[in-house]
Amino acid sequence: MTSKLFTPYPLRELTLKNRMVVSPMCQYSAVDGNASDWHTIHIGSLLTSGAGLFMLEATAVEARGRITPDCLGLWNDENADALHAVLKAVRKYSSMPVGVQLCHAGRKASAHKPFVGRGPLQADEGAWPVIGPSPVPFAEGWQTPQAMNREDMDTVIAAFVAAAKRADQIGIDLIELHAAHGYLMSSFLSPLANHRDDEYGGSLENRMRFPLEIFDAVRKVWPAEKPLGVRCNGTDWHEEGIHADDAVAFARALQQHGCDFIDVSSGGNAYVKVPIGPGYQVPYAERIKQEVGIATIAVGLINTAVQAESIVTEDKADLVAVGRAVLNNPHWPWQVAEELDGSVEVPWQYFRAATKKGVPPPYVR
């Protein structure tokens, strides 16, 4: 029997060769938003993983929208040129589609990168002002964001549009808008961060309004043949935050606006204890898939072949996104192919070491 994980999956005119996705993983290694030599190493390694899709990390649409000073960006042409140079070098050796996760960190911007510090930057460390739906800081000790007015919203929408256009110009195949983890779009959706009393706050319909405006603006300029999706929270893990019913409603609204897929994550709008374990976010993807019928990506400690296969065969999600497992073993999909009798694309330079199911990509001298 053919493994479902190794069957193709279409998204508009893009067809993924299998159901495995390399999840977007922040590298905190850019310089003024520009991709660095590390990105050549990182992206090049994972583009030979054999997965069906590689997702670039959270990529800021504004300088003030960076999570940290070292986050990747597409807010200017210099950023686009640097990323294009990396992609041009590494894509010669892989036919894997490349997507980008466009992001604005909102009130969680201006933070330390991991392993250097914790929490927000201080003024003497180069902190910059942050924005959000309401003047509500993420947590004690974090900056109080400037509450966004209409002009601020229009500026952010224009930044997403400009970044999407740059992504198209450098050959990106797919965009995922980051509306999870407490970043700007997520903070508008969550009652934990959104205390507005205008048409952008209060009811879920109102809280969805600005994220949907961003989606619509990007969909308008993103080529019709290319997929556009959204990462959102299935839950905030907080009784006063987003719950599964809200996630289903948001997914249904996005589907009506032309969204192609939902990547279901969780948390990040408050410091809470999350019950982390293998596949801990999968039930939220399953609810959206079953109740909305939109293509879904499950993510969250998916690290074995059997686990990944069961998610797609049991219709809990259409695709599985893997992060830590492929950082630990960049050829994890080769191992999965061997276990499930599938086949993946393997560079001819590595072909002697690959599973017998490996398929070489077009030869590149």
119-140 pLDDT tens trace: 999 999 999 999 999 999 999 9
| Residue 360 placed within a domain | no
* Calpha distance 62→105 (Å, rounded): 9
Judge whether residue 173 has pLDDT over 60. Answer: yes
Range of the domain at 46: 4-353
Residue 122 maps to which CATH number?
3.20.20.70
* Residue of 9, 28, 93, 183 marked catalytic: 183
User: Across the chain, what does the average pLDDT equal?
Assistant: 95
| Residue 361 placed within a domain | no
SS3 call for 21: strand
How many other CB atoms are there within 10 angstroms of residue 217's CB atom?
Answer: 17
| Residue 363 placed within a domain | no
Amino acid identity, position 299? V
Instruction: Note the pLDDT tens digit of each residue in 61-103.
Output: 999 999 999 999 999 999 999 999 999 999 999 999 999 999 9
| Residue 45 placed within a domain | yes
| Residue 257 placed within a domain | yes
Please choose, from the candidates 300, 177, 323, 316, the residue with its C-alpha nearest in 3D space to the C-alpha of residue 250.
Answer: 177
Judge whether residue 105 has pLDDT over 70. Answer: yes
What percent of the chain has pLDDT above 90?
90
Instruction: Note the pLDDT tens digit of each residue in 286-306.
Output: 999 999 999 999 999 999 999
In the annotation, is 200 catalytic?
A: no
Judge whether residue 342 has pLDDT over 70. Answer: yes
Instruction: For residues 219-225, give the mean pLDDT.
Output: 98
Q: Alpha helix (H) ranges present in 170-281?
A: 184-189, 204-221, 244-256
State both tokens at 316: 């809990």
Amino acid identity, position 71? C
* Calpha distance 124→128 (Å, rounded): 10
Judge whether residue 354 has pLDDT over 80. Answer: no
* Calpha distance 299→294 (Å, rounded): 16
Q: Compute φ and ψ for 230, nearest 5 degrees.
A: -140, 135
Q: Alpha helix (H) ranges present in the chain?
A: 37-47, 77-90, 150-169, 184-189, 204-221, 244-256, 282-292, 305-313, 324-328, 332-340
| Residue 271 placed within a domain | yes
Q: Is the pTM of this model over 0.85?
A: yes
Q: What is the length of the chain?
A: 365
Q: Name the DSSP class of 123.
A: G
| Residue 197 placed within a domain | yes
* Calpha distance 187→189 (Å, rounded): 5
pLDDT of residue 2: 81
Q: Compute φ and ψ for 234, nearest 5 degrees.
A: -75, -25
The tally of domains found in the chain comes to: 1
* Calpha distance 292→89 (Å, rounded): 39
| Residue 127 placed within a domain | yes
